[in-house]
Amino acid sequence: MSEPIKVPTMAEYMAEGKKPEVLFWVGCAGSFDDRAKKITKAFVKLLHNAKVDFAVLGTEESCTGDPAKRAGNEFLFQMQAMTNIEVLNGYEVKKIVTACPHCFNTIKNEYPELGGNYEVVHHTQFLKSLLNEGRLKVEGGKFKGKKITFHDPCYLGRANGEYEAPRDLLRKLEVELVEMKRCKSRGLCCGAGGAQMFKEPEEGKKDVNMERTEEALETQPKVIAAACPFCNTMMTDGVKGKNQEGDVAVMDVAEMIASADDL
């Protein structure tokens, strides 16, 4: 058994009069969803491995307010946002990294008008910068030559124009990257956007996640790579719905890097 990694909180840093290089915003999914917790752990391993000085808010972190805003409750969103901004500004946080594109988009684009101004990066962008700086090594390992397709999260891709960071990381794993017919700026939502994640879909001919999963399975991948905990859930449900869970894995890019290297 390897030593458990100690993840310090901002409060602990503050008590020592120190400031971390970056605040890791875990998000609700990454904190409470059993599947997403694995992504959180994989990302923490990578940060630890790259010797990144980071901290989390711990119990002081609350939901960014994204689901409330998308569902139309602007009042609740502003209350949640203001609470978080007060905590972040109290710690004089400058840089935030998160593995959730919803948190990323909300803190980056919607907090500034409420007084929260930070440099916000998605975990795939951060991992890519660690690679470029030589702090993290990514090698093929067990995914080398395997067929992988990448599903673009809406809030990373179309909303914020980041298509290359996750793909660059996958290429470093020496995978055979196969694109779906609808990808990048023409990517299709996994079906969880607009707070749909937390309710049953409306009546229709087909669920969005099934449509998207079918597009992914057409590429005959070994792994459907994702970069968002919501997408991960929807694609996993889709793969199960097609009885393909024995053949096709759904993994976050960070998990793939951590397990390729067996950290």
What tens digit of pLDDT does each residue of 73-115 get? Answer: 999 999 999 999 999 999 999 999 999 999 999 999 999 999 9
Rounded CA separation 224/151 (Å):
7
Measure the CA dihedral 132/135/140/143, to 10°: -100
pTM of the model: 0.94
Average pLDDT over residues 46-52: 95
What are residue 22's DSSP bridge partners? 54
> Across the beta sheet with 54-55, what order do the strands follow?
54-55, 22-25, 95-98, 119-122
Q: How confident is the model at residue 261 (pLDDT cuts 50, 70, 90)?
A: low
Rounded CA-CA distance 120/135 in Å is 20
CA distances for 247 relative to 188, 210, 222, 240, angstroms: 23, 17, 7, 10
Q: Give yes or no for residue 200 having a pLDDT over 90.
A: no
Mean pLDDT rounded to a whole number for the chain: 93
- Separation between Cα atoms, residue 41 and residue 58, nearest integer Å: 14
Percent of the chain, pLDDT > 70? Answer: 98
The whole-angstrom distance between residue 207's C-alpha and the CA centroid of its chain comes to 23
Q: Which residues pair with 96 in a beta bridge?
A: 23, 120
Q: For the CA atoms of 36, 37, 38, 42, what is the dihedral angle to 10 degrees?
A: 110
Following CA atoms 230, 136, 162, 229 in sequence, which dihedral angle do they give, to the nearest 10 degrees?
A: 0
Interior/surface letters 74-107, b for 16+ CB within 10 angstroms, e for the rest: eeebeebbeebbebbeebebeebbbbbbbbbbbb
For residue 185, pLDDT beyond 90: yes
SS3 category, 155: coil
pLDDT tens for 110-149 read 999 999 999 999 999 999 999 999 999 887 778 999 999 9
Using a 10 angstrom Cβ sphere, with 0-12 exposed, 13-18 middle and 19 or more buried, the burial of residue 204 is exposed
Q: Which amino acid is at 78?
A: Q
Determine whether 60 is exposed, middle or buried from the number of CB atoms within 10 Å of its CB (0-12, 13-18, 19+).
middle
Q: Is the pLDDT of residue 1 over 60?
A: no
Could you tell me if 149 and 225 are in contact, meaning their C-beta atoms sit under 8 angstroms apart? yes
